[in-house]
Structures are given as C-alpha cells and as structure tokens.
Amino acid sequence: MTGVPGKWGAGAIPEIHTPLMPSTIRNETAAAARTMAAIVAIVFAAEFVTTGVFALLGYPAGDIDAMLLDAALLAVIVAPPIYWLVLIPVRREYEKRLAASRAENLGRLAITDPLTRMMNRRGITVALLDAMAQSERYNAPLCVAMADLDHFKPINDTHGHKVGDQILTELAGILSDALRMPDKVGRYGGEEFLIILPHTTLVGGRKIAERLRAGVHRWEFASDKGTKLRLTVSVGLTQFRKGEDLEQLLARVDKALHAAKHGGRNLVVARKTA
C-alpha cells in the first residue's frame, strides 16, 4: 500500500486481525491521513491463521458510507473464490494433520499398558521381533528375560487390587530405572515383565538380571494407607539363537522362569537350550 508509513503497511493487517479504516489511520498519525484518502481491507483466516488480505483503495476522504457498502459487496464477491482456493485446502490440510495426530495417539495407546505406562504385551512383542531381526542382520547377541513378581496373588487377595496396582506401578519404575538405554521392558501379562537386552551375551544378561532381582529385593513397598511389604522377583533368562522363531525363544525363557520359581524364587535362572 503505497504511502502508508510505519506499521500500517499491508503486512500489518494480519497482525491486527481487523478491517483497516481511514479513522484508524487518521488517529494513528496525521501524516498517514494526509498520505491516502481511504482504504478498506478484508482479512481471510482459517483455523485462526490469516490466509489472505483483499484491500480496496482510492475513496474520497470521508466517504465512509460508500466504503462500507463496497466492503460488504466485496466480501460477497471475493469470499466464495477465496474459500475454495484458500480456505478449503487449508481446512483439508488441518484435518489431515489432525487425523494423523489422532492415529498416532491411538497407535501409542494400542501398545501401552494403561496401568504402568510402559509397553503392553503387544508392544513388547513387536519390539522383540524387531530386536530379533536386528540380531540376525548384524550377527549381534541378544538376551531376553522374563521377571515375575513372587507371591503376588496372596498380596492381591489380602490387601486388595488397589495395593496390587500400586505395587505393579512401582515395580515397573524399578525395572525401567535398572536397565540400560537400549534395553526395553514391557508388561507381558499380570505380574510378568518381558525384558529385551540387545547386544548382550548370556553372561552379560545374567549380570543385568541379577541387578534387577537385587534392586527389587532391597525395595520396601509402602501403600497410601501405610501398608509396608517386602517383595521379590524371579527371573528367567535366555539368549536368542539365530534361526529360531518367537515362539521358541519365549518358550525357552518361560522354562527358565519356571525353574527360578521352582528353585525357591528370588532367583535368576539362565537357560541356553530348550
């Protein structure tokens, strides 16, 4: 807009989000009023974002009625094509991004355990399949552990499910804090947690599993009502063998866990073969 000084340039209209009137300019500076006779501008916006400005110049000074009439006509004439050319694509892009965001959130919810906020069975299984593929591809060692809270059913029966949920939530935090950055843990079901240890041999995996077991053993749970409990976990451990499938790997780690349970609990049992 030629002759409009300072902040009253065309780019200023989207900033103020209001029609720019002659009186506005005159009130701002006397120089602006002398520079131009009149102006009306229509701002088009979609989703609170300015998408365009249509400006009309050249009215005799003070002819406000004519300007407002033309502004109304201008809105009727210009709005439909602007709507189709600008607002519709903007709206579609907004809806596309919104749908993608919702899909991402739903996908995240589908693999997240609502209680512990860690991966659920589906999520940790997908992560394990990916870890197995990476192990095969790069010929890197991979260990898998299954940790199970000892004597959890009597705790639930005696103290109630609310206390049981608090225990599982705190246990999930203890397990997560004890793992390394590339490791993954998820709630596999009930009080069982599946742990993925990439780039780890059976010897290294046993050290990590022992650290997990010892950390839980030192933990004293205190409920909201003051109930205090000492808890332990049993851990089964195995190393992935090239060429085996998911069922074979999980069956072997499950056997190792059962051996830890039958061996007296609060133990780590590593199993190399089926």
Structure tokens, 12: 């200023």
**Whether the model pTM is above 0.85:** no
Q: 181-234, pLDDT tens digit by residue?
A: 999 999 999 999 999 999 999 999 999 999 999 999 999 998 877 888 999 999
Helix (H) or strand (E) holding 158: helix 152-159
Strand order in the sheet with 142-149: 184-189, 192-198, 142-149, 233-239, 268-271
Helix (H) or strand (E) holding 93: helix 88-110
Question: Is 191 annotated as catalytic?
Answer: yes
Q: How far is CA 170 from CA 103, 122, 164, 215, in A?
A: 30, 21, 10, 12
All CATH 3.30.70.270 domain ranges of the chain, comma separated, are 121-271
Q: 35-83, pLDDT tens digit by residue?
A: 455 555 556 555 555 555 555 555 555 555 565 656 655 565 556 665 5
Candidate list 170, 191, 192, 220, residue with the active-site label: 191
- The answer to whether the Cα torsion of 84, 87, 88, 90 is positive or negative is positive
| CATH T-level topology, domain 121-271 | Alpha-Beta Plaits (3.30.70)
